[in-house]
Structure 1
Amino acid sequence: MNIVFFSHPVFLGSISTQRYAKWLVDGMRQRGHQVQLWVPEPRCFNIPGSPNFKKWLGYIDQYVLFPYQVKTLIKRQPKDTLYVLTDHSLGLWAPLIRNHNHIVHCHDFLAQFSAMGLIPENKIGWSGRKYQELIRKGFLKAKNFISISEKTRNDLHNLLGGRPAVSEMVYNGLVQSYTPSDDPAGALLSLETETGIGLKDGYLLHVGGNQWNKNRKGVIEIYSKWRVKFRNQKPLLMIGPEPDEVIKKAHASSAYRDDIHFLVDKADSFVALAYQAASAFLFPSLAEGFGWPIAEAMSSGTPVLTTDEAPMTEVAGDAALFIDRRPADERKAEAWATDAAKVLEKLLSYDLDERTKLVTEGLQNVKRFNSEITIEKIEKIYLSVAGNAAKHVSLNYNSDVSA
């Protein structure tokens, strides 16, 4: 099968989506398919100018020059080529491939719903709303989709106003290897040596960026309430980018700010070690498409506390402790943090047998997110959409890939 993948341009710095595209490309090549990756080049973007000016130059690269190039390249491809948008936010390119074999991968529709005014925590300006509207009009012209969770698939159907010709759900597969430590005490000591932070009594962990949905502010609120109510002195490690002004303000207002440590731009090996040695992983996300860190922490043998809403509940299964979503009304946030702190203390108060049971359930749960199984399911869908199901897909295909 000849497959053409479309991905976000490198000059935009969309690292996670680029990784996903690379994973798809590598996976299909390893399975013997002819693969190409088409990405806009920074012809205009490289012109010197202010960041805002370069943003608009980048739009020219993506939506003026690149489509012209694609139309030319498509004419040279075999007629049975499958064209794949690796992210639905590339929807402005969907009209270029709508009359060919095609499929669109859907991750989350948070930007879409924010632009539609449905997420009060994330206000979008006029230009952002119009941009998301154009993206939506684009991917609405597609017919075939793969979503990374049932939550994302349901959101897709709501946006489409019904079910498209093909709408499959395939959970993400863990690409990086996360495993429990054979020497937890040694892992803790290694982390303490590397960070210079006193960790002998354990620590709490959060991994995530400054995006509104990651709720770093809420993590600090929970931690602060927990420290007040339960007098426990475990520090909080927050791995991610340099905190923005909102997070800095939340940090400065905490009476326990000296025990809240931002570990910026750490290597994957450091993150893996931090997962292994943590006493508990906090993931009170407001919204996700999937929720990678939940699976990563569970794979590392670390108990998880997360939000009691999809898709966090989908990913965590019955192997985590859950809290309510942080309310958009700031007046209710303090009570929410207090309630969440009680659940956190419950988790940390587990005896050895209870903790071992939860960790074991987590390790069993994440077997669903096997990367090889995921890429195999995606391949079957690709083959079906490309018209090769009779040759390559078993009769029990639907039970293999559908929820």
Structure 2
Amino acid sequence: MLNNQQDNGAEAVTGTALLLAAAPANKSCLIDAASVLPALAAVPPSALAGTAAATVVELADPVDPQTVLTRVRTAAAAPGPLTVYVAGQLHLDTRQRLLHLALARTTPATLRYTALPWHWLTGELALRRPDTTTVVLDVVADAEAWEQVRAVGLGLGPGIRVYGRVAPPPQRRKVAAPAYLRSYASTWRDGHRPTPAQLHAQAAGESGPADALFLAVDAARTPVAPAPAPEPVTVEHAPGAPAAPDADPHPAILAAAQSGRHGEAAALAAMWESDALRTHGAGSPEALHWLEVRADLARLAEEPARSCELWMAAAEARLARGQSPADEDVEGAVDRAHHQWEQLGDEARARALAPSLTRLRHAVPGRRPGALEAIGRRIEAMGKAPVAH
């Protein structure tokens, strides 16, 4: 972690820049993502974050999606402006039609377990205050992901500025370079400080390829007037977002989930949760409702670990606001978390979640006898399981 703190008094705003560069360290590699990090690391943190005082967090070829999620969540919790730089490659889980950002150990066969689900990233960013988040992308998409991105976009909702390049897969046995972000770094190292729109226009003109998608969207989801670039500006749309407060978003979210567009459904629910947090506050019934909607959407997307985490968070939030452990909603949240934990085939994730679930079960034993003992039996059985070699 790099820090650049300037003492500008109590009114100084500290920004955060998160640099995420990842690509498989195998023949599935489509872009030399991490090669841009030395160039960005040589840039003053203030340029990366857009604030005089800045914190820079760097993730170079991470291997664990949960670790990446934790770092994203921590950065997203920072009160000041946040800029997220992503260099890497997108793949489509053809079973669930979900975009994933490949990590160092990702292969086509292990995509669902070793890559970062794109909606994890968009969901965390959607919870931030509007107009405080910028995402800068330099990514290559495989053939299936490329078609989906061209058709429905990337699911980054309103209130987030987006600049970047999404390139189609390179020719066979070729590895692309993160030329778009390298252009940013080169401009900053020369001492220039253009506006984000100017930076984007320059990088788009320098990086190519001619058939890439270049994104330049301000926080209000309107296109930024560009200088000449290889492709027109692409504007993403987020139907059902809180920009339409009188519409009931539930049918659109459920329809997206039922048609396999799980990333879109999760992002929409996260946007409504963000709106509830701003309007009604943390722990409010409205915010809790959307937290539980996200938990159920994770179940529909066959992400039991994520669903378990969200149901546990909902139960803990209800207890924190003074609801009784015997309350039907509290018991229901814990029961659902327990059920999702039982569905986990990944024993490492099950072990990691077991202590939190056990603590909740002690506080909320539920109406079915033996729930706490069932957790213990599964933990014991996992401990006796043979280790795979």
TM-score, normalised by the number of residues in structure 2: 0.28
Q: Per residue, is there more helix in 1 or in 2?
A: 1
TM-score, normalised by the number of residues in structure 1: 0.27
- Bigger relative CO (Cα 8 Å, ≥ 6 apart): 1
